[in-house]
Amino acid sequence: MSNPGIYGLALLVIPLGASPLVWLLGKFSKRLRNYLSGIITLGIFGLSLGFFPYVQSGNLEFLTREVGDVVISFGLGPFSLLMVSLISLLCFLASIFSPSYLKRYEGELNENKYFGLLLGFMGGMIGAVIAEELFTMFIFWELMTLAAYFLITFEHSTDSIKAGNKYFLMSEGGALAILAGIALLWVTSGTTQLTELQTTAALDPEFSVPILSLFLIGFGVKAAFFPIHSWLPDAHPEAPSPISALLSGIMIKVGLFWIIKIFWELFSVSASWGSTLAVIGAFTILIGGFLAIVQNDIKRLIAYSSISQVGYIMMGVGIGTGLGLAGGIIHLVNHALFKGLLFLGAGIVVYVTGTRKLDDLGGLGREMPLVFGSVVIGALSLAGVPPLNGFYSKWILYQASIDFERGFAPFLLVAALFGSTLSVIYITKFIYSAFLGEKSTEIERYPGWGMKTAVAVPAILCLGLGAHPRPLLQSIRPIIGGIPVFEGTWAAYMAAAFLLGAIAVGAAIYLLVDLKERSTRKPAFMGGENEETIDTERYFPYVDKLDFKVYPSEIYNSIKSSSIVNWLFVAEERNFIDPYVAVSWVGKAFTRSLRWAHNGLLSRYLVWVFSGLIVILWLLTTQ
C-alpha cells in the first residue's frame, strides 16, 4: 500500500455497499450470494491485516469532512484495527457457517434478507470502531443495533420477538445515555473529535461524573456487565446460532472497546473510577458464572458464560496498569475466538438434533469427532487450561490483580480464580451433556463443510495463540505503549509439550494394556436395584423418571438450594435484578394512573379543571 489512507475507507464502504447487493443477488442465485458473502468478509479480514504495519507508530486518518459544526472523521488506530480484524474474521466464519445452518428454514424465511443484514451488521460494527468523532460513531452504533435486532428476530417466533424487543429497548435506553453524554461533552469541551479530546487530558470536574456515568451505562448495556446484562441471556439463545456467535463474540466487545477508550485512552480518570470498573468486573465474573451452572438450555448456558468472561475484561480495564490493560485486551481477543467457537459448536448441536435442552442430548462426540475436538478446545480455553490462549490472558490478569495497590485487590484475585473454577464446572456440564454418554436424540442431519470449517479455524487459533502468544502480545504493544514486564514468565511451548506428552503416554498405556477389552459394562443401579428388577410402582411417586441416567441438570440444580447463593437464583428467576422489568413496572404504574385519571367521566374531568384553577389562583395571589 503506497498510500494506505486511500484504501482505509474500503473497510467500511465495501460491506455496507455489498449488503443490498447480496440481498438482490440471492434472488437469482443462492450459491453466488453465499460465495460473495464469504469473499467480502474474508477480503475485509485480509485487508485489515495489511494495515497493521502502518498503525504501529500512531493513528491513520483517511477521511475528515466538516458538516456544519460537526466533523465527520474516520481513521484507524492499533486498537480499532485489532477490532476490525476480529469483526471481519468472525463475520467470515458466520458467513460460511450460515448456508448449511439456514437449510432448516428453507422456504420458510427470507435467507437473502439474512445475508444482507449480516453484512450490514458487519459494516455497522466496523463504522462504530473506526469513527474518530463521537456523533459519527453514534450513527453507526445505531445501525449496528438495528441490524442486530432484525437478526435476533429472524425466526419470527414469539420468543425471538420478545427477546429482540427487550434487546432493542435496553439498547436504545443505553443509546440515549450515550447521546446525552456526547451532547454534554460537546457543551463542556467544545468538541467531539477524539484527537482533540485526547489533548484535553481531563474533563471539567463539575461535569466529569455525569459524563462518565452516562458513557458507562450507555456502552455498558452493549457490554452486558452486571446488573445491565439481562438482555443477553434472552437474546442469544433466540438468535440464529451464527448471529449468537457474533453477538457474544464481537458485538459486546464494541461496547467494551468504547469503555476502554473513554476511561483509559481519551481521559485521565480518577483512581476511584478504575476501582469501580474493577469491582463491577469482579461481581460480573461471579454472578455470570453461578447463573451459567444451573442452565439447561445449551445456548443460555454459554450466554451467561459470556457475561462472566466480560467481567475479566472489565476487571483488567479497572486495574488500569499496563499489566491489567494487556490482560483485559488480550482476553477480549481470546474471548472473541473461543466464545465464537462455542456458539458455533452449540449451533451445530442444535442443527443436527433440533433441541437446545441439555438433558435431551448425549453421545454426539462419536458422531462428529471434528466438531467435538474443536468444541473441547474452545471449552478448555474458556476454562483457562494451558497451553490454550484463555489461560494466557487469565494468567496476566491474575498477576495484575496481585500487583494492584488497593485494599480490595485480594477480592479481585479470589473472584478471578473462583470464576475460573466456575467456568470448569459449567463448561464440563456442556461437554458431558452434549458429546459424551449415550446418544439420547437421533441425528436429523449432519453439518456441512462450512460449519466444520467455522469451528476448526478458531480452534486452531486458540491452540496457536496459546502455544505461541507473542504475536498477540506484539499486536497490543502500540495500544498500551509497550509490552509490560511480567514478574513471571511461562514457556508456552513447554506447557504444550508436557500436555501433549501426557496425552501420548495415556494413549500408549491404553493401547498396550488393552483397557478396552479388559473393561466391561455393568448395569446401572438405583437403590440397590437394576433396571430389570426395580419395583416401578414403589419408586414412581418419588421420582419423575426411571431411565438410570445421570442428568447434569439434576446434579447442578442442587446449587440453587445453597443458602449462600440461593438469593441470586431467586432474584434472577423473578427478575428482581432486571432493570428492564423494573422500568416496565414503573411504566405500567404510570399508565395505570393515567387510565384512572382519564376514565371518561365528566365529573372527574371537572375536578381536575377546578383543581387546576385553584392552583393557578393561589400562585397568582402569592406572587
- Give residue 553's pLDDT: 61
- Max CA-CA distance within the chain? 103
The CA distance from 489 to 510, in Å, is 34
Contact 370, 456 (CB under 8 A): yes
Mean pLDDT of 584-609: 68
Look at residue 234 and tell me whether its pLDDT is greater than 80: yes
On average, the pLDDT of the chain sits at 81
The CA distance from 77 to 56, in Å, is 8
- Give residue 534's pLDDT: 60
Q: pLDDT above 90 covers what percent of the chain?
A: 20
Measured at the CA of 443, the angle between CA 445 and CA 547, to 5 degrees, comes to 165
Residues contacting 314, CB < 8 A, separation 6+: 223, 225, 256, 259, 277, 278, 280, 281, 284, 328
Q: pLDDT above 70 covers what percent of the chain?
A: 79
**At 229, is the pLDDT very low, low, confident or very high (cuts 50, 70, 90)?**
confident
- Give residue 324's pLDDT: 87
The crossing angle, in degrees rounded to 10, of helices 298-319 and 271-293 is 160
Residues contacting 52, CB < 8 A, separation 6+: 81, 475
**At 395, is the pLDDT very low, low, confident or very high (cuts 50, 70, 90)?**
confident
Q: Letter for the amino acid at 235?
A: A
> Model confidence over 293-323: pLDDT tens digits?
888 888 888 988 999 999 999 999 888 888 8
> What sections of 354-489 are H helices per DSSP?
364-367, 369-383, 389-403, 409-435, 449-467, 470-475, 477-480
Contact 288, 332 (CB under 8 A): no
**Could you tell me the CA-to-CA distances from 577 to 190, 373, 568, 620 in Å, in that order?**
38, 37, 9, 46
The CA distance from 76 to 54, in Å, is 9
Q: Does 474 or 553 have the greater pLDDT score? A: 474
Residue 566 CB neighbours (<10 A): 12
- Give residue 583's pLDDT: 66
Q: Does 284 or 57 have the greater pLDDT score? A: 284
> Model confidence over 413-458: pLDDT tens digits?
889 988 888 888 888 888 888 888 777 677 777 888 888 999 999 9
**At 55, is the pLDDT very low, low, confident or very high (cuts 50, 70, 90)?**
confident
> Model confidence over 237-272: pLDDT tens digits?
888 889 999 998 899 999 999 999 888 888 777 788
What is residue 240's DSSP assignment?
A: -
> Model confidence over 346-380: pLDDT tens digits?
989 988 888 888 877 878 888 888 989 999 999 99
**At 6, is the pLDDT very low, low, confident or very high (cuts 50, 70, 90)?**
low
> Model confidence over 494-507: pLDDT tens digits?
666 776 777 788 77
Look at residue 597 and tell me whether its pLDDT is greater than 70: no
So where are the chain's domains? Answer: 1-204, 270-486+541-577, 489-519, 581-622
**Could you tell me the CA-to-CA distances from 257 to 96, 250, 262, 437 in Å, in that order?**
26, 10, 9, 41
Q: Does 413 or 493 have the greater pLDDT score? A: 413
Look at residue 12 and tell me whether its pLDDT is greater than 60: yes
- Give residue 230's pLDDT: 82
Burial class (CB in 10 A: 0-12, 13-18, 19+), 542: exposed
> Model confidence over 59-95: pLDDT tens digits?
777 777 776 666 788 888 888 899 999 999 999 999 9
